[in-house]
Structure 1
Amino acid sequence: MPIHHAVLALLADGPSYGYELKGRFEESVGPQWGDLNIGHLYQVLDRLERDRLVTKRVVAQTERPDRVVYRLTRAGKTEVERWLETPFVRHAYRDDLFLKLFAASRLGRDTFTTVLDVQRQAYVGELAALRELRERHRDDELVLLLIEAAILHTQADLRVVELAERTAEKLVAGVAVEKAGADSPDTAAEQA
């Protein structure tokens, strides 16, 4: 689970508390990853403590509620190092667009084309937003790397839409032939 490993990595810099960890996470990877829900973060910290990857200590404050400070344990450091040394492997390539194209191909060329047009517009808008984000984060190399990766992924997604447009006739025609075979009298007799 990447979030708990990111929290362990943040704690490798030194002891910290929930809201500080949230701020540091969002400052580092937030522009691409998104906001980190504080409730979820505290659940992650509780699990990390349960698994003895972090310890916590309550620090009394006079003007505010007590602060809970978390510290990385030796086991936590070992775990984050193990995670960093393990390559990321995709187990399956799943994308909602493929399910939409599957469904649209069964409803005809017009529906198929509409799905592609809508998706292309979404990707073009996403690229514009990412390029704007890139301009705002020119000074942070790590964030810039994440944004560039998102731009490359979105450009690849746009190329998939273009490929689907070029092969749309074959894709929709292939489904029509498949459906015609399923509706033939021979098929109906076989099913009986």
Structure 2
Amino acid sequence: MRLPLLALLARGPAHGYELKQDLEQLLGSAYPQPNVGQIYVTLNRLQKQGLIEGEDIAQSSRPNKKVYHLTEAGQEELRTWFDQTEDEPRVRDEFFMKLALAPQSGLADQITLINKQRRQYLNSMRNLSKLTAAEDRDNRIAQLLIEGAMLHLQADLDWLERCQEELENLE
């Protein structure tokens, strides 16, 4: 949450609730909606780290609001983040651990686990398809997020098929 907030603040000062709304609008309904409390906790941490500064702004009919802006250290942190590539192979996969340990435990059947996980992935794909239809067509970022999730699910389904074939050949 910290780096996305820094990225939003790079365009200009904003308060916490405004940042929440910007994230929701940008990423659409497929992305888990951020909790406003989590955003304010993160903003406080970023301020303590010197990556942002907050300024109280007086409001006539409401309590003061705190508006945050990016510091030079925050800009540098953001530049570093944008410069880094992501390398996260999924070798620590919870489902695969279940699949690998099922025979040793004697409490679960591997093919049953695969079928159950396959149903879960298919349900997730159906839910994402509904979101695609409901999501604003002009929000290309949200559409790309949904499309990426669908492609990952399809790859997971293909991998489950491969696992099942290998396990059935062992019998």
Greater mean alpha carbon deviation, residues 91-100 or residues 140-149: 91-100
Q: Superposed, which structure 2 residues align to 1:103-118 within 5 Å?
A: 103-106=101-104, 111-118=109-116
Deviations 1:119-169 (A, max 9, x none): 111000101111121222222111111111100111111111111111123
Give, in whole Å, the separation in 2 of the partners of 1:162 and 1:97: 14
Secondary structure at the residue paired with 1:16?
coil
Aligned-pair CA distance for 1:113: 1.8
**Cα RMSD over matched residues?**
2.0
Aligned residue pair count: 170
Secondary structure at the residue paired with 2:7?
helix
Unmatched runs of 5 consecutive residues or more in structure 1: 174-192
- Alignment correspondent of 1:78: 76
Greater RCO, 1 or 2 (C-alpha within 8 Å, sep 6+): 2
- Alignment correspondent of 2:167: 168
Give 1 or 2: higher helix fraction: 1
Identity percentage of aligned residues: 37
Deviations 1:107-127 (A, max 9, x none): 66x722211111111000101
- Alignment correspondent of 1:148: 147
Deviations 1:38-75 (A, max 9, x none): 22211211111112111101112222221110011122
1:129 aligns with 2:127: yes
Give, in whole Å, the separation in 1 of the partners of 2:27 and 2:2: 14
Secondary structure at the residue paired with 1:103?
helix
Aligned-pair CA distance for 1:10: 0.5
Higher radius of gyration, 1 or 2: 1
TM-score for both structures, normalised by structure 1? 0.81
TM-score for both structures, normalised by structure 2? 0.90
* Residues 75 and 107 of structure 1: CA distance in aligned 2, closer, same or farther (over 3 Å): closer
Unmatched runs of 5 consecutive residues or more in structure 2: none
- Alignment correspondent of 1:48: 46
Give, in whole Å, the separation in 1 of the partners of 2:104 and 2:159: 19
* Residues 112 and 124 of structure 1: CA distance in aligned 2, closer, same or farther (over 3 Å): same
